[in-house]
Amino acid sequence: MTPNEISYSHILPEVVLSVFGMLIMLAEPMLGERASRKPLGYLAFFGTLAAGAATLYQAQYPGFAFWHMVHVDAFSTFFHLLVIGVAAVVILSSLDYVEEETVHAGEYYGLVLLGAVGMCLMSSAVELVLIFVALEISSIATYVLTGIRRKNAAGAESALKYFLLGSFATAFFLFGVAMMYGATGSTDIPNIALTLAKGSIPGLVYVGMALMFVGLGFKIASAPFHVWTPDVYEGAPAPIVGFMSTAPKAAVFAVMLRIILQTGAPGWLYLIWGSAALSMTLGNLGALLQTNVKRMLAYSSIAQAGYILVAFTAAPQEATSAVMFYMLCYAAMNVGAFAVITFYSGKDERRVHLEDFAGLGATNPLLALTLTIFLLSLIGIPLTGGFLAKFYVFQVALKANMVWLTIIGVLNSAVAAYYYLRLVVAMYMKPAPEGAVRVAAPLPMKIALLAAAALTLYLGIVPTGVLSYTTEAAAQLLTAPAVKVVTGQ
Amino acid sequence: MVPISYYLGLSAALFICGIAGFLLKRNIITIFMSIELMLNAVNLSFVAFAAQLHNLAGQVFVFFVMVVAAAEAAVGLAIIIAVYRTRNTLNVDQVDLLKL
């Protein structure tokens, strides 16, 4: 297969997701006004299964396509499966939420799938134009999803904040791309790598890398670009927070790995060092003060982004592998934690404060147990994925002589234990308040929770399979053939 | 021929005007316009580089930026209307339900 041709098998998962997203939007008006919207949810879930199958099929045909725009390899397959898996769990946990909150189900499920298209495309794009377009497909879908409860003042406000600051960050990313283009004469990552490897590095490259890092740092909510996170996560619908705190972040980390490691551009190490240290510290200190669980997990996700950034300071191959492993664990535990909140918070998300979770261990054992697994994993207790992921990240950072960064990270993990355990203590040690709800979770929600919990434990107990896959994918990413593309005059 | 540094200087100045407007203005519509100004400053850089490098990639990029900016404007204005309906104001200082 030559790289210079249209090959739909290289974008098959994206095609499948787009088709299902549009089908759902078309199908919604066919349903009666009072009819249940669950069939749309099941259709969306089926769409993610089909896209997952398409990814596995696509993995058999690695290589470039569309004139060096996309590159399918083990790395892109990993992130495709991650994003699609997150979307599937989010859809399962939204089925009852969407009925209760009277949001427009067609747009809701449609945008989850269409947003996932952008995120999948980001992980296989090797050309800055396509990366930009994919980033915006995913961002615009999440702006709308954030504000999908448009009669709700907090929802609209959080969508506004997310939209304004997100577009602001996009402008920085674009300015960085413009500088990179000016310095190297190309927007194609392999080409940029070739130009940079040839000779002296123009100053514009440093400016470009810094500006691109501002734009991408916003999307992964790393400090000092994190101020929007708590507000947006508090006002957005709980299942959507689970979605946008994991899937787009994973995709942006994939883009960062490609841009930073494949171009071999210099000058980003100190940026990442500072941002990682700040994210871990500000995220954990901020979380200590919160009593709203959604806000607390928002600060926790800032800290988690910091831990992932620590991995970037290691040697390229180990860094890639550690980021991939951490991202998978983080996705499993965070999407699971927000699934619990989605179900437990009830109509209009009334029960999201720490005291509302008191006695959950007695009233709702399954929810409490799974939430405990996710929280222990977020702390990094052995036998959970979170422990191994943190261990791996700090180990590779130490190997690269990042002693101080590792010390900051380990100290922060200790601080973090306090606020996660506070929630566990509330669930098991405090009596349930009067009139506590004892609603059993519906079956799709149970499947979603158990799948996330099982993956969290699996990654903590038998990680070797996943680890050898990420190592292999990292090797493929770094030895990707650099091909000179002839661009039109 | 006008040297490229003039174009880049103008582009940087416009970008900084956009940042200043974003940070200082209080009306949501004005903030939104500041973002558009930043995007257009970027477009100017792309076109200037494309002319200097005799390479069309930069000009093509500008089309993508314009299309995406239009899509963003559609979503952004819808969000602004939703905010206005729930809060009856377009002043960012009064959109403060969620503590920062």
In tens, the pLDDT along A127-156 reads 999 999 999 999 999 999 999 998 888 999
The two three-digit tokens of residue B28, written as one number = 């949501």
Tell me the per-residue pLDDT of A241-287, one tens digit each, with 9 for 90 and over: 999 999 999 999 999 999 998 887 777 888 999 999 999 999 999 99
A190 three-state secondary structure: helix
Burial of A486 (0-12, 13-18, 19+ CB in 10 A): exposed
Most distant CA atoms of chain A, gap in Å: 74
- Find tokens 């965070």 and name the residue: A334
How does residue B5 score in pLDDT terms, banded at 50, 70 and 90?
Answer: very high
Please indicate whether, in this complex, the C-beta atoms of A140 and B64 are within 8 angstroms of each other: no
Please indicate whether, in this complex, the C-beta atoms of B86 and A181 are within 8 angstroms of each other.
no
Any domain includes A487: no
The structure tokens listed for B93 are 């200082």
Interface test with A, best of B28, B68, B99 (most A CBs within 10 A): B68
Domain boundaries, chain B: 4-87
Nearest to A125 by CA among A65, A69, A178: A69
Please report whether residue A483 resides in a domain.
no
Instruction: Note whether residue A213 is domain-resident.
Output: yes
Q: Look at residue B95 in the predicted model and tell me its pLDDT.
A: 84
Residue A15 forms part of a structural domain: yes
Residue among B22, B55, B100 whose CB faces A227 most closely? B100
Residue B79 with chain A: CB contacts under 8 Å: 143-144, 147, 156, 159-160, 163
| B interface with A, Cβ–Cβ below 8 Å | 8, 15, 18, 22, 28, 31-32, 35, 38-39, 41-42, 45-46, 49, 52-58, 60-61, 64-65, 68, 71-72, 75-76, 78-80, 82-83, 85-87, 95, 97-100
Residue A488 falls within a domain, yes or no? no
Cβ atoms of A398 and A471 within 8 Å: the answer is no
d(CA B30, nearest CA chain A) in Å: 11
To the nearest whole Å, the CA of A159 is away from the closest chain B CA by 7
User: A143 contacts in B (CB within 8 Å)?
Assistant: 75-76, 79
pLDDT at residue A485, rounded to an integer: 52
DSSP assignment of A90-133 = HHHHHHHHHHHHT--HHHHHHHHHHHHHHHHHHHHB-BHHHHHH
Beta-carbon contacts below 8 Å between A and B: 130
Tell me the pLDDT tens digit for each residue of A358-376.
888 888 899 999 999 999 9
**Residue A94 — pLDDT band, cuts 50, 70, 90?**
very high
pLDDT at A386 over 60: yes
Residue of A100, A85, A88, A105 lying closest to A345 (CA atoms): A100
Residue A310 pLDDT greater than 90, yes or no: yes
pLDDT class of A437 with cuts at 50, 70, 90: low
* Average pLDDT value for residue range A379-401: 95
In whole angstroms, what is the distance from residue A165 CA to residue B39 CA?
14
Q: What is the DSSP letter of A260?
A: I
**pLDDT for the residue A346:** 81
Residues 6+ apart with CB under 8 A from A428: A361, A368, A372
Average confidence score pLDDT of chain A: 92
Contact between chains at A235 and B97 (C-beta distance less than 8 A): yes
Structure tokens at A158: 């959080």
Structural element, H or E, at residue A72? strand A70-72
Supply the pLDDT for residue A482.
58
* pLDDT at res. A102: 73
Q: Which CATH number fits domain B4-87: 1.10.287.3510, 3.30.1330.30, 1.10.357.10, 3.40.640.10?
A: 1.10.287.3510
pLDDT band at A488 (very low <50, low <70, confident <90, very high): very low
Please indicate whether, in this complex, the C-beta atoms of A164 and B35 are within 8 angstroms of each other: yes
- A82 with A250: CB under 8 angstroms? yes
pLDDT range class, residue B18, cuts 50, 70, 90:
very high
CA atoms within 13 A on the CB side of B41: 27
Paired tokens of A395: 């180990």
- The residue-averaged pLDDT of A423-443 equals 84
Picking from B52, B55, B100, the nearest residue to A231 by CB comes out as B100
User: Residue B77: how many CB atoms within 10 A of its CB?
Assistant: 13
Model pLDDT, residue A201: 83
Q: Name the residue range of residue A290's domain.
A: 8-478
How far apart CA A230 and CA A224 sit, in angstroms, is: 13
pLDDT over 50 at A489, yes or no:
no
- State percent of chain A over pLDDT 70: 97
- Per-residue pLDDT band for A483 (boundaries 50, 70, 90) equals low
pLDDT confidence bin for A1, thresholds 50/70/90: low
- B-facing residues of A in 189-248 (CB < 8 A) are 227, 230-231, 234-235
Helix (H) or strand (E) holding A71: strand A70-72
A-chain residues near B55 (CB < 8 A): 185-186, 487, 489
pLDDT digits (tens, 9 = 90+) for A77-87: 999 999 999 99
Nearest chain A residue (CA) to B54? A489
Q: How far apart are the first and last CA of chain B?
A: 50
Residue A93 has pLDDT above 90, yes or no: yes
CB atoms under 10 Å from CB of A455, counted, come to: 22
Question: What is the residue type of A8?
Answer: Y
Contact B54 A489 (CB under 8 A): yes
Contacts of B41 in chain A (CB under 8 A): 175
CA distance B1 to chain A (A): 18
Question: Which tokens in the block code for residue A413?
Answer: 């993990």
Q: Which residues of B touch A133 (CB under 8 A)?
A: 64, 68
Does residue A3 lie within any of the structural domains? no
User: Which residue, A266, A262, A301, A271, is CA-closest to A284?
Assistant: A301
Residue whose structure tokens are 């960064």: A405
The domain tally of chain A equals 1
Residues 6+ apart with CB under 8 A from A102: none
Calpha distance A452→A212 (Å, rounded): 33
pTM of the model: 0.95
At A487 the pLDDT is: 47
Which segments of B1-100 does DSSP mark as H helices, in order? 4-24, 28-53, 57-87
- Most confident range (mean pLDDT) of A96-100, A195-199, A292-296 is A292-296
Rounded Cα distance between A401 and A372, Å, is 34
Bigger pLDDT: A439 or B28?
A: B28
